[in-house]
Amino acid sequence: MKHLFPFFLVLFASTAFSADLRGRMGVGASNQLANGVPAISLKIQQNKRFAIGGILGFRTDQDSTLYGAGAKFYRIIFDEPQLNFYLAGLFATENYLDGTKVKTGFQVDGTLGTEFHFQGLESLGLSFEFGVSAREADGDGGTSFETIGDNIIKAAIHFYL
């Protein structure tokens, strides 16, 4: 039973010391879409343990239009005074440019991450994430799996209103 203690500690960790973002919406940028299109990111802290988010990005020119849209779910597992550690899942649909053909596919990410807030500037959240990703495009004949590591610029930067 003592070996299960860390598991239960992660599941039922208190979040009493972190920046209180309950009910606040974060608006920012993310570059987590596999097709490379920068996205606008929204994140709403539902309560002290859960947050939901969404990303939307597109790029259009005379030859093609690329897009990506998805939902992201966060579970805060541990906190520090200016830092939240979380588990996150991203589910996105997007299209890719393969030569001259545009293919539609999906992306599913499972990550462990952290969101950092400077003392006195809790309205700005900087995120880092790492984990695994599964991606599939129509006509490819399979799903690709890869490890991911996202820094501040790629994971997300949110300004909380």
What is the rounded average pLDDT of the residues 65-93? 93
Per-state percent for the chain, helix, strand, coil, to nearest 5: 10, 65, 25
Helix (H, G, I), strand (E, B) or coil at 62: coil
Quick: pLDDT tens for 80-138.
Answer: 888 899 999 999 999 887 777 888 899 999 999 999 988 888 889 999 999 999 988 77
Mean pLDDT of the chain: 84
How far apart CA 32 and CA 157 sit, in angstroms, is 12
Q: What pTM does this model have?
A: 0.80
Give me 98's structure tokens. 């393969």
CATH code for the structural domain at 19-160: 2.40.160.20
Quick: pLDDT tens for 32-48.
Answer: 998 889 999 999 988 88
Quick: pLDDT tens for 44-61.
Answer: 988 889 999 999 999 988
Using the predicted structure, report yes or no on whether residue 19 has a pLDDT greater than 60.
yes
Q: Quickly state the pLDDT bin for 13 (edges 50, 70, 90).
A: very low
Quickly list H helices, the chain: 5-11, 152-155
